[in-house]
Amino acid sequence: MLHTIIFDEHNKPDEQEKQQLVDFLHDQLEQYGDPKQQIRRAIDYALREFDSYGGFVMILKQEQKTRAAVVINRTGMDGYIPENILVYIAVDRNSRGEGLGRELMTQAIAHATGDIALHVEANNPAKILYEKLGFTNPYLEMRLKK
């Protein structure tokens, strides 16, 4: 049986749980991921471990094993940029195709207050799921790297 855990500034994981989450995301995100210290910073941002707008981390567990996880950060820019950004979502590679990504995204969308933005590489297969859930691509993103 699946159960959902939500961590935020009021319900924080202990250090071991946090490290397990970082390791899970780093391992399962594969080529779409970031270094562990960046994943940890996004989690700490969501949990308001430092001065931030916060957010939440949602985990789907089955028999004490993490099957999927998402990190959503609040942007603090309500009204002109989406209030939230989905920073990371990952499904255990042995559980993909079982609908866990859809389940987690549906719960995260319901839990978030306001709109949600996300960045997805054009060749990422998760793009299809995001489109089915109502995400659109109305803008061309441009970046200046310094």
Q: How many domains does the chain have?
A: 1
In a domain, 143, yes or no: no
Domain assignment present for 144: no
Helix, strand, or coil here: 104? helix
Residues 91 and 103: beta-carbon distance below 8 Å: no
The pTM is what?
Answer: 0.90
Q: Could you give phi then psi for residue 88, rounded to 5 degrees?
A: -140, 140
Could you tell me if residue 71 is inside a domain?
yes
Full domain range(s) for residue 110: 2-132
Give domain status of residue 44, yes or no. yes
* Range of 28-37, 46-55, 91-100, 113-122 with top mean pLDDT: 46-55
> pLDDT by residue (tens digit) across 56-81?
999 999 988 999 999 999 999 988 88
Over the stretch 81-137, which tens digit does the pLDDT of each residue have? 899 999 999 999 998 889 899 999 999 999 999 999 988 887 777 777 888 888 888
| Band of residue 45 on the pLDDT scale cut at 50, 70, 90 | very high
Output the domain CATH number for residue 82.
3.40.630.30
Residue 12 lies in a domain: yes
Task: Please give the pLDDT value at position 41.
Answer: 98
Instruction: With respect to residue 95, please indicate whether it lies within any of the assigned structural domains.
Output: yes
> In the prediction, which pLDDT does 123 show?
78
For 39, the token pair is 């994943």
Q: Do the domain assignments include residue 141? A: no
Confirm whether 78 is domain-assigned. yes
Give the gyration radius of the chain's Cα atoms: 15
Better-scored residue on pLDDT, 17 or 144 = 17
* C-beta separation of 106 from 116 below 8 A: no
Q: What is the pLDDT of residue 6?
A: 98
